[in-house]
Amino acid sequence: MDSHRSKIPRQLFHVILTTSHLKKNPNNLVESVRVPGTYTSLPAAKAAAHSCLFDAGYERDWFDVYETNTDVFEYSSLHERTGLAVLAVANDGTTFRVRINTTPNTRGLSSDLPDNRVTTPLYYVIQADAEYDADEGSAIRDVIIEKIFESYEEAEAFARTALLSEEDGITKEDFAEYHEAVANEKDCGYGENVLVHAVSDYGVNYLISVIKNQVLEATHLAEASMRISF
């Protein structure tokens, strides 16, 4: 029993892939968010992040920019550099960002695989914050995993109240806009799997979604993703 417990890490490391098509449609944010995998060690997550796009079927010469140096991210003017492991820009201007997000291992998950990937089917409650900039247009500024669950129903229930707080007195009325998917629907009109969309008084857009983990394969790029549009 003790030897099994020693294999359970205190933290989990999630690989998040976001894809932006802003140059194709500069007036409308269209971005997909996927979680290719969750890992029990940071080195394993970094290795997975660096191979993520190639595992999905892309090739290095398809990208005009392919950067993995964290020092470059740190000293650049990137808004979304937190947790960034890969920044790639394709020939057509499509931008790919691969991030690593860390959460507590509250569910006691572990892995028996050599690559430390968690094989348990997981549902992620993800918060994406987006802003509109007159020069850059709409852009995702931050993407974080709020919590993970082993059933969609649990994840959905949490997602619907993720922006609210009874303790802090935060209600739907505190937002300039607040949209929520109706019962039995999986989106609220602001993209696939986006259950909640809210706008602050300062114009920041908050999008809460539930997506399932899925190993990326070239034939499955359109599946298990969160697509944002507004």
Q: Quote the CA–CA distance of 230 and 191 in Å, as a whole number.
A: 8
Pick the more confident residue, 97 or 26: 97
Lowest-confidence range among 60-69, 86-95, 133-142, 199-208?
Answer: 133-142
Percent of the chain with pLDDT over 90: 53
3-state secondary structure of 181: coil
Residue 33: name the closest of 223, 217, 205, 225 by CA: 225
Read off φ and ψ for residue 43, nearest 5 degrees: -55, -40
pTM (two decimals): 0.84
Q: What is the pLDDT of residues 21-36, one digit of tens each?
A: 755 544 445 468 899 9
Lowest-confidence range among 62-76, 82-96, 128-142, 146-160?
Answer: 128-142
Radius of gyration of the chain (CA): 18
Pick the more confident residue, 138 or 157: 157
Residue 225: is its pLDDT beyond 80? Answer: no
Q: What is the pLDDT of residues 154-193, one digit of tens each?
A: 999 999 999 999 999 999 999 999 999 998 888 898 888 8
Q: Which residues contact 48 (CB under 8 A, 6 or more apart)?
A: 15, 36, 37, 39, 115, 117
